[in-house]
Amino acid sequence: MSLGQLLSAPPAIVAAGVDVFSDALRAQGADVTDVDWRPPGFGDPADLAALALDPRRAVANRTAVERLMAAGSQLVDVRPAREVLGLPDRTLLHSGPPLTWDMASGPMRGALIGACLFEGWASTVEEAEKILAAGEITLDPCHHHRTVGPMAGVTSPSMWMWCLSDPVNGGRAFCNLNEGLGKVLRMGAYNEEVLTRLAWMRDVLGPILSRAVRDPIDAGADPLDVKAVLAQMLQMGDEGHNRNRAGSLMTLRELSPAIVEVDAPASDIAAVLKFIGGNEHFFLNLGMPTAKLAMDAARDVPGSSMVTVMSRNGTEFGIQTAGTGDRWFTGPANTPVGLFLGDYGPEDANPDIGDSAIMETYGVGGFTMAAAPAIVRFVGGSVPDALATTERMYQLTLAENPAMQVPILGFRGSPTGIDVLKVARTGWLPQINTGMAGRVAGTGQVGAGLVQPPQECFEKALAALAEESRAAA
C-alpha cells in the first residue's frame, strides 16, 4: 500500500483500556477493535491504592534511600563468631528466612552436617543428622545477627568472621571467610577435603588475617574502605556478586603488605597468599556485609516501601522492607536457570539459596550486569541481555547510586532501592545472579545462573505495607 492509499483509506483503530475512548469513536461512526489489555502488575487494587496514596511514602522512601547511600563500610577486625556474635555452643546460623531441619534442602542439610562435624559435636554423618533432627542444634538466620552468608551461609562458633563497620551510622555487619569454589561447605559439601580446609581456615587463615587487619589499625593506619573497593570493581568488569575478580585482587593488594609482616611461619604466610590469590570470590564475603550495612541503615522507616533484605534458604525466598522492620515475607524459592559444570544438568540443581542476594538488594550484582558483560559466560544469556537487565532494574528502584557507577551506561549510578510498589505495578521482578548448589547433600556446586524471587513475596509485602498505611491514616 502506498502512502497516499494509506492516508485516504478509513482509519483502523485499536483501543486498549477503558471503554470511554472506544465508545466515543464508535459514536462518530468509526470502526474500533477493542483489545482486552491491562498492565502486567499484581496485587489487590485497594492495597495498591492505599500504598500509593500514603502521604508518608515519598518522604519515607527518600529517607531510606539517603541512609542507604550515606552508609560506609570499613574492615575493622577478623574474629571468631563466638566472640563477635556471642554465638553459643551448639548454635548454627544459616542463610535466608527461618527454617527447621525438616524443611531444609539438600545443600542446607549438607552444610549443617558439615558444621557439626567441624565443631566436633558429632563424629559421623549419621550422628550429626540425629542431633539435628532431634533439635539439639539451634538454627537461626544470619540476618537476625547482623550477619550474611553466601549459599547455605552456615556459620558456626569457631569460624572466623570479617567484621565491618559503618563510620556514618555506627552499624556493624559480619560474614564468614570465603572457602573458594567447588566442593565447599556453603554449597552443601562436607567430605574430608572440606573439613580439612575449614580447619586450616580456623587455625591459620583466620589468625593471620586478624593480625593483618588489626595491626595496621592499632599502629594508626586507616581501615580498608571496602565500599570504595566495591565501587572500583564496577569500573573494572566485576558486578559484585558472581564476578569478583578485580575486587579479590584489590583486596589481596591492600592486605598483602600487612600479611607478610605477621609473625607466623613463612609456609603459613605463603599458603594464605596463595589461597587468596587463587580464590576469585574471596571479596564476595566482604561485599555482602558492605551491602548489609547499607540496607540495615535503611531499616525501620515507617511508610517506606523499600526492600531491605532479599534472601533464600534453599527452600523459601524471603524479603523484608524498611516499613515493616524484621517481618519476613516468604514464598517457595525458584530454581536458577543457567550454565552447568561438567556433566551436571537442571535436574541436579537445588532451588535458590543464599544471603548473597543482599548484593542485588543494594543495587549491584544482577542489577549491574551491564558493568560486567563477561558475566554472561558464567551465568548464561547474552551481552544485550546484561544491558537490558540493568535498564529494566531502573524501573523497579527509587534512585541511582552515584557511588556505584556503570561505565557502559555513561557512568550512570546503579539502580538502587527496590520499591515494592513499583515491582507490583510493573509485574517485573528483581534479577539475581547466583551460584547453583547440588540438590543432593554433599554434592557441592553444580553451576551458576539467573533467578528471580517468587512474586508471592512481594504480594505479601504489599498487603502488609498497605495494612500499615491504613493503620497510620
| pLDDT tier at 406, thresholds 50, 70, 90 | very high
State the pLDDT at residue 385: 87
pLDDT, mean of residues 452-461: 98
Q: Average the pLDDT over each of 24-33, 323-332, 396-405 and give the range with the smallest value.
A: 24-33
Contact 299, 308 (CB under 8 A): yes
In three-state form (DSSP H/G/I as H, E/B as E, the rest C), the secondary structure along the chain is CCHHHHHHCCCCEEEECCHHHHHHHHHCCCCEEEECCCCCCCCCHHHHHHHHCCCCHHHHHHHHHHHHHHCCCEEEEEEEHHHHCCCCCCEEEECCCCCCHHHCCHHHHHHHHHHHHHHCCCCCHHHHHHHHHCCCCEEEEHHHHCECCCCCCCECCCCEEEEEECCCCCCEEEEECCCCCCCCHHHCCCCHHHHHHHHHHHHHHHHHHHHHHHHHHHCCCCCEEHHHHHHHHHCCCCCCCCCCHHHHHHHHHHHHHHHHHCCCCHHHHHHHHHHHHCCCCCCHHHHHHHHHHHHHHCCCCCCCCEEEEEEEECCEEEEEECCCCCCCEEEECCCCEEEECCCCCHHHECCCEEHHHHHHHHCCHHHHHHHCHHHHHHHCCCHHHHHHHHHHHHHHEEEEEEEEEEHHHCCEEEEEEEEHHHHHHHCCCCCEEEEEEECCCCCCEEEEEEECCCHHHHHHHHHHHHHHHHHHC
* pLDDT tens-place string over residues 372-396: 988 887 788 788 888 999 999 999 9
Residue range(s) defining the domain that contains residue 242: 70-288
**Of 254, 288, 322, which residue is a domain's last?**
288
CATH code for the domain of 462:
3.90.1700.10
State the pLDDT at residue 195: 98
Q: Are residues 27 and 51 in the same domain?
A: no
State the pLDDT at residue 471: 95
Mean confidence (pLDDT) of the chain? 93
Q: Are residues 52 and 28 in the same domain?
A: no
**Of 265, 288, 311, which residue is a domain's last?**
288
Q: Are residues 164 and 238 in the same domain?
A: yes
Q: Are residues 319 and 270 in the same domain?
A: no
Q: Are residues 180 and 315 in the same domain?
A: no
Is residue 406 included in any domain, yes or no?
A: yes
Is residue 293 included in any domain, yes or no?
A: no
pLDDT at 296 over 60: yes
Q: Are residues 246 and 358 in the same domain?
A: no
Distances (CA, A) of 100 to 136, 140, 231: 12, 9, 37
Distances (CA, A) of 409 to 37, 368, 415: 32, 10, 12
Residues 430, 394: Cα–Cα separation, whole Å: 10
Q: Are residues 330 and 425 in the same domain?
A: yes
Is residue 294 included in any domain, yes or no?
A: no
* pLDDT tens-place string over residues 22-76: 665 676 677 777 766 555 789 999 999 999 999 999 999 999 999 999 999 999 9
**What domain count does the chain have?**
3
319/3: higher pLDDT: 319
Q: Are residues 317 and 341 in the same domain?
A: yes
Single-letter residue type at 45: P
CB atoms within 10 A of CB 94: 26
* pLDDT tens-place string over residues 297-311: 999 999 999 999 999
Is residue 330 included in any domain, yes or no?
A: yes
* 309 Cα distance to chain centroid: 8
Q: Are residues 18 and 93 in the same domain?
A: no
Q: Are residues 307 and 456 in the same domain?
A: yes
User: CB-hemisphere CA count at 13 Å for 385?
Assistant: 12
Q: Residues of the chain with pLDDT > 90: what percent?
A: 88
Is residue 40 included in any domain, yes or no?
A: no
State the pLDDT at residue 97: 98
pLDDT, mean of residues 291-298: 98
Is residue 295 included in any domain, yes or no?
A: no
**Of 260, 288, 316, which residue is a domain's last?**
288
Is residue 331 included in any domain, yes or no?
A: yes
State the pLDDT at residue 1: 46
pTM of the entire predicted model: 0.91
Is residue 277 included in any domain, yes or no?
A: yes
